[in-house]
Amino acid sequence: MAAPTPGRRRNMQPRAKIEDPKQSLKTFKRLLGLIFKRYKVHMFFVLLCIIGSALANVQGTLFIQTLFDDYISPMVVRTAQGESADFTPLLFAIARVAAFYLLGAAATYAQARIMIYVTQSTMKDLRNDIFRHMQSLPIKYFDTHAHGDIMSVYTNDVDTMRQMISQSLPQLFSSAITIVSVLASMFMLSLPLTVLTLIMVAVMVVTSGKLAGKSGKFFLAQQTDLGTENGYIEEMMKGQKVVKVFNREEKSVEEFKELNDRLYHSSYNANLFANIIMPINAQIGNVSFVLCAIAGSILAVACEGMPVLGLSLGALVSFLTFNRNFNMPVSQVSQQFNSIVMALAGAERIFDLLDEKSEEDNGYVTLVNAEYRDGKLCETEERTGLWAWKHTHQATGEVEYKELRGDLVMDDVDFGYTDDKMVLHNIDIYAKPGQKIAFVGSTGAGKTTITNLINRFYDIQDGKIRYDGININKIKKSDLRRSLGIVLQETNLFTDTIMENIRYGRLDATDEEVIAAAKLANADSFIRQLPEGYNTVIKADGGNLSQGQRQMLAIARAAVADPPALILDEATSSIDTRTEKMVQDSMDKLMKGRTTFVIAHRLSTVKNSDCIIVLEHGRIIERGTHDQLLEQKGKYYQLYTGKAG
């Protein structure tokens, strides 16, 4: 990774557009659909538990009226008249209420246990879905998205949904059921006080909506800024050597502060209004309670005995408790507002990734192991070292086998990463089986782009590419890539043993075949000097190995795959001269009989190529053998000798 240049303001990714409420509602419905589709039985029992818990609380509150009107008041009268009080009915009533409360507590416990399972399972499923879909995305997606930002989807965005699913979602269901059950009970107790309570709840909802509208638009920006910051941290971790070499520590700190300030401001604005919703709602609820207490007292005293307006002492106490219980769900929902909106912002980013279009593959020609039987090419399950294209003609269903020879033709190919800017123009290449074709030219000339087209990492805008006479668009991408061994300049090693890193080229390779490939790449000697030999675990992308050693492992990985064709993209550029000679000898053995495409800056490594193609600004300006190009005294001559032609 290149260090940031001095004085340059770091280019930040544009924030995602804030979605409108309809989009947020659509995201919420999609999230609910995802949960209920996979865990409908579990969520059904959760709903039953929530209903049971809510009803237990409602019957407990209604008991207050019974307690006052049917037990306490009559006992007070009997006591005043000198009669003895019988507490037996009261004890039975309390025991009945206690039993309901115990059932409610059991329902709450069961709900919590089930939601833990649903939450963690949903998180697991989401990560699996994201990773599975990520593997199907085209290379273009990873070229145009910061890797740290993609990582943020797995970590931050998925985690924001955890609290919503485990707490906020059950709270929404519980609040809805509580509101319905409490509202019905309130209507039973007093119509006037219920209307007054609903007016105050309307004030609470309007106030919450306005505050929510002010904070909600910043939550998606917060998640986006967090992903950008994570991407920068990842970039700096990978580029620490470059940062230190160029003494850019302070510059990196300044740029991080800029990103962190941006995250701070979006987070501050997101939480500024959201955090005051609950206190304001609590105060509105207190006002509602006071108003109902005053109005209820007046109704209880002035309208005693009236059918609609009259209110007993027990009914008033019970109603005031319901008033609290009715305002509480609204306050609880507002309390969960932060996690709900953050989760929806994270869910939008998750669904955006899941909605990314997978890499298209309409190919139907496959690569199979083959052998000749009675002079006829036939498919076989065994690995024979002979490969064939299995071409099933879609019109007739007839199957035709054609030996993979490595004959590649690019005919008048035009390509651009975007349609409005072509980077390759009128490319014509003819590679015969077993030939070594080299691409040379200045940086940005289009050398690597050509190999990306052969792999179909990108598709061309115009022209044709044929592999053994077959249009590569007809070849299944996985089979096309299986036919091509690739060694890149930037070596990627995985956290595993050296044995498994080499075997990554062909998972069914035996230990003996892995060791033979390592010997071919001249890697066997240094591997055996490691503490655990081939069982040495590589960590941090092979940071404890030299660049040359990592490159030799990559070459061994390609060798064990035993591919019919090879692409070597600056394969020896990071290796010292002495090691290069050793590796080059091995590479020559590996390339023997295979069509090979070589990209190299060290022109000494391509002298023996069958054809050297010189590129300039996406066009082929020269082609020929080493001697032929030197005789022309053109661009290749200048590159090789350093002299003007």
User: Of 346, 374, 403, which closes a domain?
Assistant: 403
**Beta strands 366-373 and 387-392: pairing type?**
antiparallel
Q: Which of 378, 375, 389, 374 is nearest to 564 (CA)?
A: 389
pLDDT above 90: residue 411: yes
User: Of 318, 334, 354, which closes a domain?
Assistant: 354
The pair of three-digit structure tokens given for residue 490, joined into one six-digit string:
């930037």
Q: Mark whether 480 and 601 lie in a shared domain.
A: yes
Q: Mark whether 383 and 506 lie in a shared domain.
A: no
Residue 13 in any domain: the answer is no
Residue 16 in any domain: the answer is no
pLDDT score for 213: 65
pLDDT score for 613: 92
Residue 243 in any domain: the answer is yes
Across 569-578, average pLDDT:
66
Across 249-263, average pLDDT:
87
Residue 457 in any domain: the answer is yes
Across 30-50, average pLDDT:
88
Across 34-40, average pLDDT:
87
**Residues 645, 637: Cα–Cα separation, whole Å:** 7
Across 468-497, average pLDDT:
86
Strands of 31-117 (E only): list them. none
How high is the mean pLDDT of the chain? 81
Confidence of residue 334 (pLDDT cuts 50, 70, 90): low
pLDDT score for 4: 39
CB contact at 8 A, 516 and 590? no
pLDDT score for 545: 82
pLDDT above 50: residue 413: yes
The CATH number that applies at residue 438 is 3.40.50.300
Q: Mark whether 479 and 341 lie in a shared domain.
A: no
Whole-number Cα distances in Å, 1 to 5, 150, 450: 12, 18, 23
Residue 238 in any domain: the answer is yes
pLDDT above 90: residue 464: yes
- The whole domain housing 349 covers 21-354
pLDDT above 60: residue 635: yes
Helix (H) or strand (E) holding 116: helix 88-135
User: Of 343, 376, 403, which closes a domain?
Assistant: 403
pLDDT score for 263: 87
pLDDT above 80: residue 235: no
Q: How far is CA 223 from the centre of its chain?
A: 13
- Number of domains, the chain: 3
Q: Mark whether 55 and 168 lie in a shared domain.
A: yes
Residue corresponding to tokens 């035709």: 400
CB contact at 8 A, 100 and 56? yes
Q: Mark whether 563 and 597 lie in a shared domain.
A: yes
pLDDT score for 6: 35
| 58 CB burial (10 A radius; 0-12, 13-18, 19+) | buried
Confidence of residue 1 (pLDDT cuts 50, 70, 90): very low
pLDDT digits (tens, 9 = 90+) for 450-463: 988 998 989 999 99
Confidence of residue 14 (pLDDT cuts 50, 70, 90): very low
Terminal alpha carbon distance of the chain: 36
What burial letters (b/e) apply to 60-87, b meaning 16+ CB within 10 Å? ebbbbbbbbbebeeebeeeeeeeeeeee
Q: Mark whether 467 and 424 lie in a shared domain.
A: yes
- 206-210, 214-218, 373-377, 579-583: which is most confident: 373-377
pLDDT score for 620: 93
Residue 4 in any domain: the answer is no
Looking at 6-10, 16-20, 85-89, 143-147, which range is the least confident one?
A: 6-10
Whole-number Cα distances in Å, 67 to 51, 88, 474, 490, 492: 24, 13, 81, 79, 74
pTM of the predicted protein model: 0.71
Across 557-580, average pLDDT:
76
pLDDT score for 13: 44
Q: Mark whether 25 and 105 lie in a shared domain.
A: yes
pLDDT above 90: residue 521: no
Alpha-carbon torsion (412, 416, 417, 419), positive or negative? negative
Residue 274 in any domain: the answer is yes
**Residues 574, 542: Cα–Cα separation, whole Å:** 14
Please provide the DSSP assignment of 84-109 as one string. Answer: PP--HHHHHHHHHHHHHHHHHHHHHH
Across 269-281, average pLDDT:
74
pLDDT score for 2: 37
pLDDT above 50: residue 424: yes
Alpha-carbon torsion (444, 448, 450, 456), positive or negative? negative
Q: Mark whether 338 and 273 lie in a shared domain.
A: yes
Residues near 126 by Cβ (< 8 Å), separated by ≥ 6? 34, 158, 161, 350
- 216-230, 498-512, 558-572: which is most confident: 498-512
Confidence of residue 576 (pLDDT cuts 50, 70, 90): low
Q: Mark whether 508 and 603 lie in a shared domain.
A: yes
Residues β-bridged to residue 613:
439, 623
Residue 14 in any domain: the answer is no
Other Cβ atoms within 10 Å of 212 Cβ, number: 18
| 467 CB burial (10 A radius; 0-12, 13-18, 19+) | buried
Whole-number Cα distances in Å, 552 to 164, 533, 548, 572, 582: 49, 15, 6, 9, 10
pLDDT digits (tens, 9 = 90+) for 72-90: 666 666 666 666 666 677 7
The CATH number that applies at residue 280 is 1.20.1560.10
Whole-number Cα distances in Å, 264 to 218, 261, 270, 584, 597: 11, 5, 10, 53, 50
Q: Mark whether 211 and 303 lie in a shared domain.
A: yes
Across 469-482, average pLDDT:
91
pLDDT score for 163: 78
Q: Mark whether 496 and 588 lie in a shared domain.
A: yes
What radius of gyration do the chain's Cα atoms show? 36
- Phi then psi for residue 389, to 5 deg, are -85, 125
Q: Mark whether 393 and 425 lie in a shared domain.
A: no
Residues near 639 by Cβ (< 8 Å), separated by ≥ 6? 440, 441, 603, 614
